[in-house]
Amino acid sequence: MKFFIDTADIEEIKEAMSWGALAGVTTNPSLYAKTGGKLADFEDHMVKIAEICEGLPVSAESTAKTTDAMVAEGEHLASLAPNIVVKLPVCAESLAATHALAEEGIKVNMTLVFSAPQALLAARAGARYVSPFVGRFDDIGDEGLDHLEEIVTCIHNYDFGHEVEIITASVRTPHHVTQAALMGADIATVPFGALKKCLKHPLTDQGLASFEADWKKVTGEK
Ligand code: G3P
């Protein structure tokens, strides 16, 4: 499974990219708003992220409401950098826009996917990435991983005539990451905080502390 980072924060992206383990970035309007960014700077911000992650897919979300506007905004976003992927929320208008953009060779990441039928329709319309959300189900007392499993199985059952990768989104915990990988989800897009948690384990910390203590016996250092 590949790791993407789910953030629009430039410093977080730079730091996580320095690990050498990331394969892409996803952003959305809420994540951009969280950076304090303004509309006038949105495109430059996306270009900056695309430059930091040269060659890796960077999802920039359209906020257009009609098919024509989504296609126009999608074409524009895709023209900003070769690695920008157009992110669209699943609905009738965005399916039609995805179909049109895919015909032009523009990659679409279909987001806000909560069910297998939504995922299948997105893939059939030509989406290059389908993003099922996990954590938001958990937030309402449902089991997000069960829904993810259905979606992964349904998508992997079929050949859509083009590559379709599942981006596990709304990831909150290392457990989500582990389960997504066990299910065979292609990608997990993980916020920086959860990504750092993925790196930690109490036994790693404990092991490191004993190595350091034992090495002091070797070096004689107090
Ligand atoms: O990329 C969108 C998705 O990951 C958002 O997650 O935490 O807002 O549910 P969250």
- Write out residues in the chain with pLDDT < 50, as ranges: none
Tell whether ligand 1 has an atom less than 6 A from the beta carbon of residue 179.
no
**Ligand 1 neighbour 118 (Cβ under 6 A):** no
Tell me the whole-structure pTM to 2 decimals: 0.95
Q: How far apart are CA 96 and CA 102, in angstroms?
A: 10
- Regarding the beta carbon of 48 and ligand 1, being less than 6 Å apart is answered no
Q: Residue with structure tokens 């980072």?
A: 5
Question: Residue 26: CB within 6 Å of ligand 1?
Answer: yes
C-alpha 189 to ligand 1 mean position (Å): 9
Q: Is 48 a catalytic residue?
A: no
Q: Which helix (H) or strand (E) holds 44?
A: helix 42-52
How far does residue 75's CA lie from ligand 1's centre (Å)? 24
**DSSP-assigned letter for residue 169:** B
> Quick check: CB of 2 below 6 Å from ligand 1?
no
Point out the catalytic residue in the list 87, 197, 217, 222. 87
| Pairwise CA distance, residues 165 & 155, whole Å | 9
> Residue 139 has what pLDDT?
96
Give, using CA atoms, the residue closest to atom 4 of ligand 1. 170
CA distance 122 to 89: 10
In the structure encoding, which two tokens stand for residue 205, read together?
Answer: 């910390």
CA distance 71 to 9: 26
Q: Please give the number of the atom of ligand 1 that sits closest to the Cα of 172.
A: 7
12-34 per-position pLDDT tens digit: 999 999 999 999 999 999 999 99
Q: Is 123 exposed, middle or buried (0-12, 13-18, 19+ CB in 10 A)?
A: buried
- The pLDDT assigned to 132 comes to 98
Ligand 1: centre distance to CA 105 (Å): 26
C-alpha–C-alpha distance, residues 162 and 135, integer Å: 28
